[in-house]
Structure 1
Amino acid sequence: MANDNLNIQNNQVIEMERKKKLSNLLYSQKIAPYFFVLPFLLSFAIFFAYPVFSTVVMSFQEVLPGQVTFIGLENYKDLWNPTFLKSLKNSTVYTALTLCVLIPIPLLLAVFLNSKIMVAKNFFRSIIFIPALTSVVVAGIIFRLIFGGQEGALLNSIIGIFGFEPKAWLNNAGLSMFALVILATWKWMGINLLYFLAGLQNIPRELYEAADVDGASTWKKFTNVTVPLLKPITIYVFTISIYGGYSMFAESYMLYGNNNSPNDMGLTIVGYLYRNGIEQNNLGFGSAVGITLLVLTFVITLVQLSLSGMFKKEE
């Protein structure tokens, strides 16, 4: 009996020592940071690193049902065809046009909404941000009806008031790109506006007061105070807009109702990936398209960040 009690006490001491060591381990200044970082590392490895690695490997293969064959660079050689170049051109033009709209206009609107003389600020902020909460599917269907080619479509009805003939908006390359840019502007204006508003509210008011004392005009305050101090926000918005432009797919798909627009005028790089990888079940070639898109956006982003001076050391 005494031996049993002794064994129980020994087990309790051992268990207490184990818990103490585990507690010391968890609260260790050397180990604790790794526990905080571990969830991010796991999610990054599972949802980004591994899929990218698998896609790179698959891009050098011919993937058929029940059969995988290594074919080297054949997928990348076949990639440079007129259809891919058309999708690359469409994505590049779309990205450039959205950058010209979704950088300066949200910035100016944010300045107006942040000014002292602006009334009903919260109301206008809500109105501008509401489209961002709308599903791309719903937005695409609505804009397909707005830009319909029928005489009774909304936009044709509006231009008809001014004596213009109805237009087949989605059957003309220039007009269809205009429709896509309008859709992107309506959908994402509020997001970029919030970024700029957050940046504006972090600019000290003392700087504007000092500029007023020096007799600076509104334009001078905007160019010499607001724009320079918003540079980090502007670069961030510029970067995510580049990615958003080149990764656009759902807007075009819903605007045309499918992935086969007339003469591929609405085909994007992601749409080309979807056509080959999903619709035609050519996963190897689709992987090559995806890796090409990843490298393209990565290079463009690096060039943009380099030109903006983000890699320069502060003196």
Structure 2
Amino acid sequence: MIKKFVYSQKVAPYVFVLPFILIFLIFWFFPLVNSFVMSFQDRMLGQDPKWIGEANYSKLLTDKVFLTSIKNSVVYMLGTLVLLIPFPMLFAVMINSKLMMGREFFKSSFFLPALTSVAVAGTIFRLTFGEMEGSLMNSFLGLFGVEPIKFLKDGNWSMAALLILACWRWTGVNMLYYLSGLKSIDNEYYEAASIDGASAWQKFRTITMPLLKPTTVYVTTISVYAGLAMFTESLMMFNGNKSPQNIGLTIVGYLYRQGIEQNKLGYAAAVGIVLLIIAMVINLTQLKFSGMFKKEED
């Protein structure tokens, strides 16, 4: 009787999606609701929560350290968008070319850094951009007579180092997304363009880029999230969550500082809700302008 009920046409679809629904409720929806409620409380481990209304959010508006963390995260996110969309696309087009030799080698070479632990990668880059004269980068610059630079004590240089780390780790991943998108483009478009006398640039501009739009939207969406959620890279690069004058502090890093290091769970929850709102606004805006919400015409 139970088996017949479970495998019936009306019930079976819900049985198959039940695991996803449970995972969604347990690991996403309930924690989100709990965080939202917690953001209106003065809450610490080992103490009873106290309802304080919007006080946490009001405090955020005047918290200079929090505003600095937002600036750092947004600058980092914009930097990754500028670097990790056009360059992986170009590399994918080059590797996808019939004239390209050693395709599999280049695919593996570009993707290999993504398999490296972020803790290991961050530590290596911290040593590479260290302020000591013997660090790899300063040793290289010394060959040209350049004085040692304290990369991780300067806001601009430290952000550049974080972006270089991001490019090193994620260029190959985004390139594979674009390679997958290129495989879905019918070669007849390029053949027709060749007959019309189109140059390689014209083919790229009028065929490749427009047809890769869904891939670009996807890469942009995940890059916005990854950029705003960046934390471990900064933590390892600065050997802790206390960079000089907070030049490497991100929103997630500030959340970690308030919630884990200082046990201010309510305030940390408010930071998390603000981060969620920022990410949603940016992603929904870029999806709107990219036309993803438009209905296809018949």
Q: TM-score, normalised by structure 2?
A: 0.98
- Please give the secondary structure, in 1, of the residue aligned with 2:148: coil
Q: CA deviation at 1:27?
A: 2.6
Q: 1:67 aligns with which of 48, 70, 73?
A: 48
Q: CA deviation at 1:214?
A: 1.2
Q: CA deviation at 1:132?
A: 0.3
1:270-310, Cα deviation, whole Å (9 max, x unpaired): 00000001000000000000001001101111111001111
1:188-217, Cα deviation, whole Å (9 max, x unpaired): 111101100100011111111111111111
Distance 1:263 1:191 in 2: 33
Is 1:175 the counterpart of 2:157? The answer is: yes
Aligned to 2:168: 186
Is 1:245 the counterpart of 2:227? The answer is: yes
Is 1:77 the counterpart of 2:58? The answer is: yes
2:14 partner amino acid:
Y
1:111-153, Cα deviation, whole Å (9 max, x unpaired): 0010000000000100100000000000000000100111111
Q: CA deviation at 1:183?
A: 0.5
Aligned to 2:3: 23
Q: 2:14 aligns with which of 23, 26, 34?
A: 34
Give structure 1 regions of 4+ aligned residues with deviation exceeding 4 angstroms: none
Alignment of 1:90-239 (within 5 A): 90-239=72-221
1:231-277, Cα deviation, whole Å (9 max, x unpaired): 00000000000000000000000000000000000000000000001
- Please give the secondary structure, in 1, of the residue aligned with 2:295: coil
1:46 partner amino acid:
I
Is 1:305 the counterpart of 2:287? The answer is: yes
Distance 1:186 1:213 in 2: 39
Distance 2:165 2:172 in 1: 13
- Structure 2 gap segments, 5+ residues each: none
1:24-49, Cα deviation, whole Å (9 max, x unpaired): 32332211111111111000000000
Structure showing greater Rg: 1
- Structure 1 gap segments, 5+ residues each: 1-20
Distance 1:83 1:103 in 2: 30
2:10 partner amino acid:
K
1:57 partner amino acid:
V
Distance 2:215 2:10 in 1: 34
Is 1:292 the counterpart of 2:274? The answer is: yes
> Which stretch of structure 1 is more off in the superposition, 160-169 or 102-111?
160-169
Alignment of 1:251-266 (within 5 A): 251-266=233-248
1:74 partner amino acid:
A
- Please give the secondary structure, in 1, of the residue aligned with 2:43: strand
Distance 1:66 1:166 in 2: 50
Q: TM-score, normalised by structure 1?
A: 0.92
1:158-193, Cα deviation, whole Å (9 max, x unpaired): 111112111000001100000000001001111101
Distance 1:66 1:75 in 2: 17
1:54 partner amino acid:
N
Distance 2:214 2:195 in 1: 27
Aligned residues: 295
Distance 1:313 1:63 in 2: 45
